[in-house]
Amino acid sequence: MINDYHMPVIEGVDWEKAHRYMPEKESLLAILREMVAGASKQASLLLKYRDEIKTDPSDENHDLFKVQAHAMKASVRSIGSDLFDEAYALELAGKDRDTETIIRDTDRFADDYLALSDRLRVITGDTDRQEAFDKKAFAERIQEIKTAMDAFDVTLLQGSSSKVMSMETPEILKNELAILEEGVRDLESEKVLGCCERIEDLLRNIE
């Protein structure tokens, strides 16, 4: 039941709603940690796509914005945040090519998203520090990216990518990770899958 969470009151979060999506507290905490750790990057991507729409309001740029808004919508929905409506409105704006709404409302949502992530640090602690490299866990996350890309599951793809980027990595992998991050951002299947294959080859040479 909801009382099993024993969560502190956080402005803008309804733990009863969160409980419907994440009945297990450990699963919820994992989502919270992932959201807080990736909040700055996710907000920056949304603003980047907004800026690209300003200079080039193409279907492609609107689609990239829509996908990013959808990913952020999924994260706030799973924790019972009242930012869901804002995120959903931006996702629809991307779908409908509503440039006016995107330009008008994106800054406010990005600010609200970052403010929420800061409030959640009461629960998650300092998650800015990168997790220590673990070869097995890293390889499993690369496999998750491949699976998500094959299924074109954008939410899983971006979540798995965030988990990969949150881990400290040997220098030999950094160039490929930069390519991978770009491929995930642009939803380029061949680039993502090819990069994952090369990373798996490199991992075999790491003790």
User: Who wins on pLDDT, 202 or 37?
Assistant: 202
CATH of the domain at 115: 1.20.120
CA distance 140 to 142: 5
Specify the DSSP element, H or E, that contains 119: helix 99-124
Q: Is the pLDDT of residue 51 over 70?
A: yes
Q: What is the mean pLDDT of residues 134-155?
A: 91
Domain boundary among 97, 124, 151: 124
Domain boundary among 124, 158, 178: 124
Q: Tell me, yes or no, whether 151 and 111 share the same domain.
A: no
Neighbours of 197 (CB within 10 A): 13
The pLDDT, as a whole number, for residue 128 is: 53
The pLDDT, as a whole number, for residue 92 is: 97
Q: Tell me, yes or no, whether 66 and 98 share the same domain.
A: yes
Q: Tell me, yes or no, whether 119 and 176 share the same domain.
A: no
User: Who wins on pLDDT, 121 or 99?
Assistant: 99
Domain boundary among 81, 96, 124: 124
The pLDDT, as a whole number, for residue 104 is: 96
Q: Tell me, yes or no, whether 108 and 21 share the same domain.
A: yes
Angle value at C-alpha 135, between 30 and 161, nearest 5 degrees: 50
> Residue 131: helix, strand or coil by DSSP?
strand
The pLDDT, as a whole number, for residue 1 is: 42
Structural domain total, the chain: 2
The pLDDT, as a whole number, for residue 129 is: 55
Q: Which domain holds residue 75?
A: 7-124
Q: What is the greatest pairwise CA distance in the chain?
A: 52
Q: Is the pLDDT of residue 5 over 70?
A: no
> Both tokens of residue 122?
């009461």
- pLDDT tens figures, 185-198: 888 999 999 999 99
> Is the overall model pTM greater than 0.95, yes or no?
no
**Would you say residue 173 lies in a domain?**
yes
Q: Tell me, yes or no, whether 148 and 105 share the same domain.
A: no
User: Who wins on pLDDT, 90 or 21?
Assistant: 90
Q: Tell me, yes or no, whether 72 and 48 share the same domain.
A: yes
Three-state SS letters, 157-189: HHHHHHHHHCECCCHHHHHHHHHHHHHHHHCCH
> Both tokens of residue 195?
């990069």
**Would you say residue 2 lies in a domain?**
no
**Would you say residue 84 lies in a domain?**
yes
